[in-house]
Amino acid sequence: MCTGFTKNSAAANAIFGGGKPMNKRMIARMCLDKGTLANFLEIHRRFSPSPNYRLRNMVKCGLNAIKHDRLIRHEQSYLLNSFIPPLNSPAFLNIALQVPGEGPDFFDNHVQGKRLAPISTYIAVTGKCRYNCWHCSAASAGQSAGQKELSTPALIRIVQKLQDLGVGIIGFTGGEPLLRDDLEEIVAAVDRQKSMVLVFSTGFNLTLERAAALKGAGLFGIALSLDSVRKERHDELRGYPGAYDQALNGIRNARQAGLYTMSQTVCTRELMAEGEIFELAEMLKGSGIHEMRIMEPLPCGRLSGPSSALLSAEEQNQLKQLHITLNGDQRYPKASVFPYFESAEQFGCGAGTQHSYVDAAGNFGPCDFLEDLRYGNLLTDDVREVWQKMHQASGGPKCSCLAKDPEQCNSALPKFYRLLGGIRP
């Protein structure tokens, strides 16, 4: 991507950030970074034996990925978004190389979305939570306040197995992961040369001291839930008095501790129709977050079965447009909207190909939103065998979310793969 950018600055100017000086400057700085250059040169070297590989097609992939996005520099790291490791990190090169085959097969398998390991795995380190969120995906998965948790050594074994597999992002979720007093020890067990480490939380009791301890243990970033600008409404949605203040305090403390700080919002039709999502974005920009992650209600957990909360196709398209609108306006923070990334125009649904999930009992599946699909247990089974079984069953990247539209998913490749392989849209 950097090679193409320097060779064709006119095309880059037209696409990167719509000509915005801030984005172009960031791209130029990233392309001069030694880690970024080394990573892309190594990927280029590995792709080159294939007669089907063209450098210009890899450049097109980069242009398409960033055309409605913003690059972020956090400390010494350059990020496109929190779905992939920093572009100049060893973890980014790790995910790029976790594809089967040597010589020409390596590139050809890339184009088909075949992988030796998922890019990301989220681990539910507990089923316990003080909140009672209206949309909770874990609510029907046997997770409750009385559930027995896996021990610290058991979770560390799971982390080590995933890193041996080649996972590039390890995220800790729950329940509420901050309820574990040993979370710092579990985070510290992750080799940061192989994986970026994230935590997904409500912000419950995230003091400055706790945020600093997690940062010291090796945590890269934390995503904190906030669903409304109105305190009463957020507390109601989360089923916990004081949830709003906990979230805002958590954001402030995470920023002060030096963590890559994200918000996470479940965007309802009301948030969009009333324009509150833009108020929330402005408020979060003022709080200094690095990235606003936006999801939609999904048919799992408390929303399993028919639900009026699920968005229509038109509303999902509005949500995709929201990604473009927010990233195109400096009044708002960098935004990462899940339906945009999971669309046919970007990377598609990565369940079982790019992403995976480990529940609070150690069961390994393609996604936390596919609660009934589990292929083995990482406490007892060989991680490579379970991954290959899951990966083969997934059938490759899908052009729509498998949790939302299992009947609509087909064998067509999302645009990222088609561009990389020079396949006509």
List domains and CATH numbers for the chain. 21-114 (no CATH), 120-414 (3.20.20.70)
Inter-residue contact 196 to 86 (CB < 8 Å): yes
Q: Which residue has the tokens 């080590």?
A: 160
Residue that is written with structure tokens 């009385």 in the block: 146
DSSP 3-state percent helix, strand, coil across the chain (nearest 5): 45, 15, 45
Whole-angstrom Cα Rg for the chain? 20
CA 279 to chain centre: 24
Whether the bond between 175 and the residue before it is cis, its omega within 30 degrees of 0, is yes
pLDDT, tens digit only, all 425 positions of the chain: 454 434 444 333 433 434 354 577 888 888 889 999 999 999 999 999 999 999 999 998 888 988 899 999 999 999 999 999 999 999 999 999 999 999 999 999 999 999 999 999 999 999 899 888 877 766 554 444 446 689 999 999 999 999 999 999 999 999 999 999 999 999 999 999 999 999 999 999 999 999 999 999 999 999 999 999 999 999 998 899 999 999 999 999 999 999 999 999 998 889 888 899 999 999 999 999 999 999 987 656 565 555 677 788 888 899 999 999 999 999 999 999 998 988 889 988 888 899 999 999 999 999 887 777 899 999 999 999 999 999 998 888 887 777 666 655 566 788 899 999 987 65
Phi, psi of 376 (to 5 degrees): 165, 180
Q: For 119-203, where are the alpha helices, taking DSSP H only?
A: 152-165, 183-188
pLDDT score for 8: 40
Q: Let me know how long the chain is.
A: 425
CA–CA gap between residue 140 and residue 276 (Å, rounded): 30
- Residue 424: CA count within 13 A, CB half-sphere: 0
pTM: 0.91
Between CA 275 and CA 285 the distance in angstroms is 16
Which residue(s) pair with 68 in the sheet? none
Phi, psi at residue 225, to the nearest 5°? -80, 130
SS3 per residue for 231-257:
HHHHHHHHCCCCHHHHHHHHHHHHHHH
* Pair 126, 179: CB distance under 8 Å: yes
| Closest of 417, 386, 398, 389 to residue 165, by C-alpha | 386
Are residues 192 and 170 in contact, defined by beta-carbon separation less than 8 angstroms? no
- Quick one: which H or E segment has residue 214? helix 208-217
213, amino acid identity: A
Are 87 and 39 in contact by the 8 Å Cβ rule? The answer is yes
pLDDT of residue 134: 72
Tokens of 353: 């190909």
Is 72 within 8 Å of 79 (Cβ atoms)?
Answer: yes
Q: Which helix (H) or strand (E) holds 122?
A: strand 120-124
Task: List, in sequence order, the alpha helices (H) in 48-191.
Answer: 55-66, 90-97, 104-111, 152-165, 183-188
Q: In what order do the strands lie in the sheet with 221-225?
A: 335-337, 291-295, 260-266, 221-225, 196-201, 169-173, 120-124, 355-358, 363-365, 376-377
Cα 265 from Cα 211, distance rounded (Å):
21
Q: What is the predicted pLDDT for the residue at 283?
A: 97
Q: Are 199 and 172 in contact (CB under 8 A)?
A: yes
pLDDT at 422: 84
Question: Can you give the three-state secondary structure of 319-360, one letter per residue?
Answer: HHHHHHHHHCCCCCCCEEEHHHHCCCCCCCECECCCEEEECC
Of 315, 265, 325, nearest to 295 by C-alpha is: 265
